[in-house]
Amino acid sequence: MPLDGQLIGFLGGGVMAESLIGGLIKNGIVKPEKIFVSDPDEERLQLLKEKTGIKTVADNLQLTQSAQLLIIAVKPQVISEVLADIKQNIKAEHSVISFVAGISTDYIESYLGGTPVVRVMTNTACLVSEGASALCGGKYAESKHIDIAKTIFSSVGKVVTVKEELLDAVTGLSGSGPAYMYVILEALIDAGVRVGLPRKVATALTTQTMLGAAKMVLETGEHPGRLKDMVITPGGTTSAGMYALEDGGLRVTLMNAVMAATEQSKQMSKGPK
Ligand SMILES: NC(=O)c1ccc[n+]([C@@H]2O[C@H](COP(=O)([O-])OP(=O)(O)OC[C@H]3O[C@@H](n4cnc5c(N)ncnc54)[C@H](OP(=O)(O)O)[C@@H]3O)[C@@H](O)[C@H]2O)c1
């Protein structure tokens, strides 16, 4: 077990930290008493403690004394402040995982010297244990550090490893992806209502159809194009629907969305580096 004996410290106890803590505890990967959290919001800390049984500490500096594996879970705007807080106390025993959007491993290493850093881009579906995460190691990260990060993020979904230069593309695809899927779901539900279905029924059928299609791709390993072809009979209903989708430029619209979001992520990553 790659996490054996490690004490884990979350810098920031927000929404994402809570979902990870939940996944780690639920899957028996770490016991609650081995997890420490720092956060400026006392009430938030108290709530987390009551909900999950983790330990809380007074500040970020104290967190570095309590844990070896430090997980940065704050918003990008405060990461410099957090790194400046912990810098003086970082020792050889420490390693860092950051899932702060747009912050490079180089930037973190510029504060923490030779500390092993793993950077992760994840998404909101971690909250329901169906996250899609991509990760990469910094200059000083070894395979054991990557394995630890994989174990942690696997507790709340699927994980892949990529080169750091691809993380903007990951942001554009799966980071922003839940929003694209919600728009598609909403549009299909509205369409169901338009053709006469009660909204509740349209919602149940649409969400299950999206879930089922994704599961078919995952579980059969078939190319989605082949699975699509299997649904279409010549001159049939799906064929008529497909023509309308192509006529509306759905594919190129989705590709444009991913390209625009990737470009935006590249621009935003030019901030603190
Ligand atoms: N939510 C997502 O779907 C998602 C997806 C991918 C990546 N991410 C990344 O995950 C990170 C966390 O997102 P989130 O949604 O969990 O944010 P969040 O709920 O706002 O959590 C951040 C927490 O950090 C606390 N904090 C602020 N300053 C701090 C400091 N100096 N030291 C320690 N803690 C501090 C905040 O407290 P206050 O509220 O009191 O300021 C808050 O409780 C972000 O960098 C985001 O880019 C999020």
Q: Is 62 in the pocket of ligand 1 (CB under 6 A)?
A: no
Closest ligand 1 atom number to CA of residue 102: 47
Q: Is 39 in the pocket of ligand 1 (CB under 6 A)?
A: yes
Residue 3 lies in a domain: no
Same domain, 39 and 86: yes
Q: What is the DSSP secondary structure assignment for residue 14, as one 8-state letter?
A: S
Q: Is 38 in the pocket of ligand 1 (CB under 6 A)?
A: yes
State the pLDDT at residue 3: 78
**Tens digits of residue pLDDT in 133-182:** 999 999 999 999 999 999 999 999 999 999 999 999 999 999 999 999 99
Report the separation in Å between the CA atom of 72 and the middle of ligand 1, taken as the mean of its atom positions: 9
Residue 193 lies in a domain: yes
State the pLDDT at residue 128: 92
Same domain, 163 and 179: no
Same domain, 13 and 148: yes
Model confidence band, residue 272 (pLDDT cutoffs 50, 70, 90): low
Is the pLDDT at 52 greater than 80? The verdict is yes
Model confidence band, residue 45 (pLDDT cutoffs 50, 70, 90): very high
Same domain, 179 and 66: no
Residue 1 lies in a domain: no
Same domain, 74 and 194: no
**Minimum CA distance residue for ligand 1 atom 21:** 14
Same domain, 44 and 85: yes
State the pLDDT at residue 1: 57
Report the separation in Å between the CA atom of 224 and the middle of ligand 1, taken as the mean of its atom positions: 36
Same domain, 192 and 131: no
Report the separation in Å between the CA atom of 103 and the middle of ligand 1, taken as the mean of its atom positions: 13
User: CB–CB of 86/60 below 8 Å?
Assistant: yes
Of 136, 167, 198, at which residue does a domain stop? 167
Of 115, 140, 167, at which residue does a domain stop? 167
Same domain, 63 and 110: yes
- Number of folded domains that form the chain: 2
Same domain, 255 and 130: no
- Six-digit token string for 196: 């006469």
> CA of 37: how far to CAs of 1, 10, 78, 151, in Å?
22, 5, 16, 19
Residue 138 lies in a domain: yes
What's the mean pLDDT in 233-253? 97
Same domain, 182 and 153: no
- Six-digit token string for 214: 């994704």
Q: Is 13 in the pocket of ligand 1 (CB under 6 A)?
A: yes
**Minimum CA distance residue for ligand 1 atom 42:** 14
Containing structural domain, residue 224: 175-268
Same domain, 240 and 136: no
- Give the CATH number for residue 218: 1.10.3730.10
Is the pLDDT at 273 greater than 70? The verdict is no
State the pLDDT at residue 270: 75
Is the pLDDT at 220 greater than 80? The verdict is yes
What's the mean pLDDT in 250-261? 98
Question: Distance from CA of residue 184 to its chain's centroid?
Answer: 20
State the pLDDT at residue 5: 81
Tell me the torsion sign for CA atoms 192, 193, 194, 195: positive
Residue 2 lies in a domain: no
What's the mean pLDDT in 245-256? 98
**Tens digits of residue pLDDT in 8-31:** 999 999 999 999 999 999 988 999
Q: Is 98 in the pocket of ligand 1 (CB under 6 A)?
A: no
What's the mean pLDDT in 221-234? 97
- To test the ligand 1 pocket, which listed residue (46, 75, 120) has its Cβ within 8 A of the most ligand atoms? 75
Average pLDDT, the chain: 95
What's the mean pLDDT in 82-108? 95
- Give the CATH number for residue 153: 3.40.50.720
What residues are paired with 38 via a beta bridge? 11
Model confidence band, residue 269 (pLDDT cutoffs 50, 70, 90): confident
Residue 273 lies in a domain: no
State the pLDDT at residue 249: 98
Of 118, 136, 167, at which residue does a domain stop? 167
Q: Characterise 67 by phi-psi region: left (phi > 0), alpha (psi -120 to 50), beta (else).
A: beta
- To test the ligand 1 pocket, which listed residue (74, 80, 83, 135) has its Cβ within 8 A of the most ligand atoms? 74
The pTM of the full predicted model, rounded to 2 decimals, is: 0.92
Same domain, 137 and 229: no
